[in-house]
Amino acid sequence: MTPRSAAAESGDYAPPGRRVLRLGPASWAWRPRAAAVSVLAAAVLLALFARALVAFDDYPMGIAEVVRVLLGGGDDGQRFIVFELRMPRALTGALVGAALGLSGALLQGIARNPLASPDTLGIGWGASVGAVAVIVVGGSAGGVSGAAAQFGVPAGAVAGGLAAAFAVFALAWRAGVQSGRLLLIGIAVSLVCSNLVYWAMTWSDVQDAARAQTWVTGSLHAADWERVGAAAVALAVLLPTALIAARTVGALGLGDDTALGLGVRVDRVRAGLLFCAALLVCAATAAAGPINFVALAAPQIALRMCRSPEPPVLASALLGGALTLGADQLAAGLFPIQLPVGVFTAVLGAPFLMYLIIVRHREARL
């Protein structure tokens, strides 16, 4: 056994680049670099949020006036603009982006592959199939309105997304999940689902198709407080869950065998984390439609900034929120007509995907 004296001396050991925090029975080792990145991301997120409240649409309102409205002043028109238009939209953007960033971090961790995301695993398109089915079927049955619009579309998104996630993992399962097979099947399911969406849109009448098209591109136009609430609840439950699970994701990163040897119930943990990630994607998709690439890009940007081996959970969520808010402001500000946010996250995200593939290819060659 280990000599006790040596053990006592090394009880304060902390590896380079980490600080140890102990409070009673609780203890953490944290990285100043990752903490700094999280603080920076939070600052950017807040700045973009503030900008969204002050200057978003054509309605002229200075900072002083917005502050007065926030403090309870201003006229009815100003209050409406700030509380009913700008704030729900900014909050939805931030929450949806955070949920997507977080889901990407979890999926990339459990698949051990930077290309794993709701987009490549079919979850996003699965949610779209569910939502578009409700729009089209509901539409042909007399227009999406009332309860159908409020609950039907989100419920369809959740059902479709969870079904796709389940299908992908069930098909990829063969005494464990291997990430190459998972991605191939995920991409296949994505393609099937995206074609189902386009088929449904072709088949439906013009008005429903237009409504479905707006929804499929991903948009924050229709943000309201109900959607903010749903996304906030999902994130409030699942972010702490993800932070707690991060330790086990680290063990999973060493491969199934090593993780089993470390006492991790590999299959159960992976299924649980997948369910969390899928729920996050469904909540985000229900609130704003499918927003591409945030879940893929945010965790990889966070990983590179923090220089951590796995996508850092908190920083991924914060950067996802910032990326989505940023894309929405670009979408709203650059062109005379308002483009949906989904267009811009894709424009920002597609080159990044290519960059990732090229870098990964080079790493494999080294």
Decide: is 5 part of the binding site for another protein (CB under 8 A).
no
**Counting runs of H as helices and runs of E as strands, what totals does the chain give?**
16, 2
Single out the residue of 36, 140, 307, 355 in contact with another protein (rule: CB under 8 A): 307
Strand boundaries in the chain, DSSP class E: 19-23, 26-30
State the number of binding residues for another protein (CB under 8 A): 45
Restricting to residues 262-301, name those near another protein by CB under 8 A: 262-265
In the complex, what is the shortest distance from the CB of residue 17 to another protein, in angstroms, rounded to a whole number? 7
Decide: is 254 part of the binding site for another protein (CB under 8 A).
yes
Structure tokens at 298: 């945010």
Q: Are 299 and 308 in contact (CB under 8 A)?
A: no
Single out the residue of 38, 128, 248, 292 in contact with another protein (rule: CB under 8 A): 248
Q: Are 132 and 141 in contact (CB under 8 A)?
A: no
Q: Which string of x and - marks every residue 33-72 that binds another protein (by CB under 8 A)?
A: ----------------------------------------
Decide: is 250 part of the binding site for another protein (CB under 8 A).
yes
Which CB atom, from 26 or from 334, has the smaller least distance to another protein? 26
Decide: is 6 part of the binding site for another protein (CB under 8 A).
yes
Which CB atom, from 234 or from 266, has the smaller least distance to another protein? 266
Structure tokens at 25: 């029975």
Decide: is 137 part of the binding site for another protein (CB under 8 A).
no
Single out the residue of 244, 354, 357, 358 in contact with another protein (rule: CB under 8 A): 244
Structure tokens at 208: 């429903």
d(CA 35, CA 12): 21
Integer-rounded Cα radius of gyration of the chain:
22
Q: Are 179 and 111 in contact (CB under 8 A)?
A: yes
Q: Which of 41, 102, 35, 33 is nearest to 242 (CA)?
A: 102
Q: Are 291 and 221 in contact (CB under 8 A)?
A: no
Q: Please tell me the number of Cα atoms within 13 Å of 28 on its side-chain side.
A: 10
Restricting to residues 61-120, name those near another protein by CB under 8 A: 112
Single out the residue of 258, 335, 351, 358 in contact with another protein (rule: CB under 8 A): 258
List residues near another protein by CB under 8 A. 1-2, 6-8, 10-18, 20-22, 25-29, 112, 175, 244, 247-248, 250-251, 253-255, 257-258, 260-265, 307-310, 363
